[in-house]
Amino acid sequence: MKLDAARNKVIFIVLLSIGFTLAMYWVLSYSLSQTNSSSPRLIPEEAYLIILHDVYNQSLDQLSKITFADLDGKFTSQYVMVDANGTIYQADKDTHDTGKVLGSTVEPLTGGNHYGWEITANNTKYYIDSTSGQMILNPARSNENSN
């Protein structure tokens, strides 16, 4: 009789563990599928200002005086996904769905996949992460392999 009680307790604990694991899996899957509204994404103009600061060493004081009208026609932009091996995909900025392959380049500086803006200015392509605002690729190396 004591053996049956111990066996039932073990079965209960195993089933409880499996149930908890499945519940956590569903919660995490749902959580990861939702858009993160707490981390706003950069707009292309902000990405261009980051390039002016990081690449061209313009001071924050100079950048604070620039208006959107000043930036008109200075660059082109498109939303892209750069994967861990350097393949560049066209991407939708709202859903992050990827489209056709646009080209390939070197691996991202920080590894992993990145969604961000491809900014073309002065015949050079720059890649800025749309959430963190960091450079995804070193601009000098990224243009060596771009299509």
Residue 39 domain flag: no
Read off the pLDDT of each residue in 60-83 and give the average, rounded to a whole number: 91
Q: Are residues 83 and 138 in the same domain?
A: yes
pLDDT at 147 over 70: no
Residue 130 domain flag: yes
Q: Are residues 100 and 134 in the same domain?
A: yes
What is the per-residue pLDDT for 141? 54
Contacts of 8 (CB under 8 A, 6+ apart): none
Lowest mean pLDDT among 5-9, 39-43, 132-136, 138-142: 138-142
Q: Are residues 93 and 61 in the same domain?
A: yes
Alpha carbons within 13 A on the beta-carbon side of 146: 17
Could you tell me which residues are beta bridge partners of residue 125? 120
Closest CA to 117 of 146, 74, 87, 88: 88
Residue 54 domain flag: yes
What is the per-residue pLDDT for 1? 61
Give pTM, 2 decimals: 0.68
Q: Domain of 78?
A: 44-145
Closest CA to 106 of 72, 144, 135, 67: 144
Residue position matching structure tokens 């073309």: 120
Q: Are residues 30 and 49 in the same domain?
A: no
pLDDT at 56 over 70: yes
Number of domains in the chain: 2
Q: Classify 117 as helix, strand or coil.
A: strand
Residue 80 domain flag: yes
134 with 96: CB under 8 angstroms?
A: no
What is the per-residue pLDDT for 13? 95
